[in-house]
Chain A
C-alpha cells in the first residue's frame, strides 16, 4: 500500500512539470511587450530596456523557464503586473473562498445526487426514475452562467430571499454553491444509478433475496457498499469540473476566489497572475486525481500495485 502511494505521487511529478512547461510556453509567446503594457504611458525606450533587464525578460526562454520553476518551487510566483502585489499572496487570500464554495457545492451534489440515484434504482423504470434521470441530464446540460442568472432573478429580485452577489456572510454561499453543484449532482445521480443497477444484477443479491431478506436490507447491507466504488472516485475527480465551473460561478456572484482572479487577469492582461492562478488550480486537480487513485485502491484492495 505504502509503495503504491509513493509510486503514484512520484508519477504526478512529471505531469506537474509538463503542466508548468506548457503553461509557460503558452503564456510567454504572447505578442506584445509586457513592460509597455504595464507602463501604459509613452515612455522612453531606455527606461523600457532597464525594466526589461530588471525583470530578466531578455534572457533566453529556457533560462526564464527554469527561473520560473525554481521560484515557483519556493512559493514565489512573481508580481502581479496590475496589482503590483505578490501573486502567491493574492492566490492564498483567494483560495479559502474557492475552497469553501467548491466544498459547499460538492456537499450539495452528494446530498442530492446519491439519494436521487438510489431512489431511481428502487423505483426502476417508474415515473420517478425517468423524472430524476431527466432532471439529472437537465443539470448536466444547463449552462452554469445561465442557471446562475435565473437563480439571481428568482431568489434575489422576485423573492428577495438571498443576496444577488457578494461574499460577506454564510448566506451568500447558498446560491453559488447550488448553481455550481447542480451539474455534479446530475453526474453523481446517473453514476449511482448505473453502478447500483449493475450490482443488483449479481448472484449474491439474488441469494440475499432468496434467503428472505427484505428489499431494504438487501439494498443497505449488500448492494450499496459495492456500488459506491465508482461514485467515491468521481467525488475526487469532481475537483476539476468544480474548479472549471467556479471560474464562471465566481464571476457571476462576485466571489473573490481563484476563478475570478483568472478571469480578471485575462481582462487586465496580467500574465504572472494568470499563470499563477492556472498553475495553482491545475495543481489542485492533480492532487484531487491522486487522492481518487489512492482512495480507490484503499476501498478496493483488488486494485494491485502494478
Chain B
C-alpha cells in the first residue's frame, strides 16, 4: 500500500516536471514571437511572404489571362486596364506570367535550400562529433566548395548537366551545403562538451541518438535562420542563372528569364524587363527582412 502510494507520488512529480519543461518551451516560442513582433520590418516581411505563398499556391485561380497564350497581334501592349502591366514580345500577359513565376521562385527557394540544409546538417554534425580524419575530409571539401565564386560553380554544374529547372536544384544544392555544414559543425563542437551530452554518453546512449536527440534540436534555431536567409539567395541565384541563359528555358515564366528575354526591348518596351525584376526585389527583400528579424529575435544579446 505504502509502496503504491510512493509510486503515485513519484509519477505525479514526473508529470509536473514535464509540464514545467513544456512551459519553458512554450515561453521560448512566446519570447521569440514577442521579440519578433516588435520588429516592424520583420513583420512586414512575414506578411509579404505569406501573400507570396498564397499567390503561388492559387496562381491558376487568380491569373487574369493564360500566361502561355501567344497572341502576336497583342505584342508589346502598354500597361492598361485589361493588361495591368502590359504584354511581352509574344503578346503574353506579363502580370499572369509574374504570378505563375512565383511558383517557380517558391519551388527554387524551398527545395534546393532544404536539400542543402539536410546534407549540410548531416555532414556538419558528423564532422563535429566524430572529428579526426572524417572531419578533416568533410571540412576541406566545404572549404573547396566555398572557394569557388558561387555563381561560377553553379554555372559549371549547369554546363555539365544542361540547362533545365531540375538541374538548377542540383546546382544550387552542390553550392549551398557547405556553409550549413560549417555552422552546424561549430555548434556540434561546442555542444558535445556540454554536461547534458556528457550525461547521455555516460548512461550509454548511442552516438546516433545523441546526435539526433541532443545535438540536433539545439542546432534548430540557427538552422531556421540559415534556411530563411537561404531562400532569397536561392531565388536570386536561379534568377541570375536564368538571366545568363543557363537556367530555366523558355517558355517557363521564370522571373530571371523574363528579365533576360525582355532586356533587348528595354528601350522600346521597358515594362517587359523591369516588372519581373521588381517581383524578384520584393520577394528577396521580404525574406531578408524576415530572416534578419528571426536572427535578432533569437539572439538574446541583440535584444534591447
Contacts and interface: CB of A to CB of B under 8 A. Distances in A.
A60 to B, nearest CB: 20
A140 B147 contact: no
A143 B236 contact: yes
A83 interface: no
Interface of B is mostly: helix
Given A26-B157, A274-B156, A266 B144 contact: no
B109 interface: no
A247 B239 CA distance: 14
- The winner among A137, A140, A146 for most chain B CB atoms within 10 A is A146
B140 interface: yes
Nearest to A248: B240
B148 A282 contact: yes
B149 A244 contact: yes
The prevalent SS among residues of A at the interface is helix
B293 to A, nearest CB: 11
Contact of B244 (A150, A241, A248): A248
Contact of A263 (B148, B244, B259): B244
Contacts of A29: 160
Interface stretch (B3-11, B112-120, B277-285): B277-285
A281 B152 contact: yes
Interface string B251-273: 00000100110010011001001
Interface stretch (A1-9, A13-21, A38-46, A205-213): A13-21
Contacts of B20: none
A278 B148 contact: yes
A267 B245 contact: yes
A152 B153 CA distance: 28
A163 to B, nearest CB: 14
B86 interface: no
A265 to B, nearest CB: 8
B232 A145 contact: no
B297 to A, nearest CB: 16
A139 B150 CA distance: 19
A27 B156 CA distance: 7
B143 interface: yes
Q: Which 4 A-B pairs have the closest CB atoms?
A: A146-B277, A18-B144, A244-B151, A141-B285
6 contacts: A22-B144, A145-B260, A146-B273, A150-B274, A248-B243, A274-B159
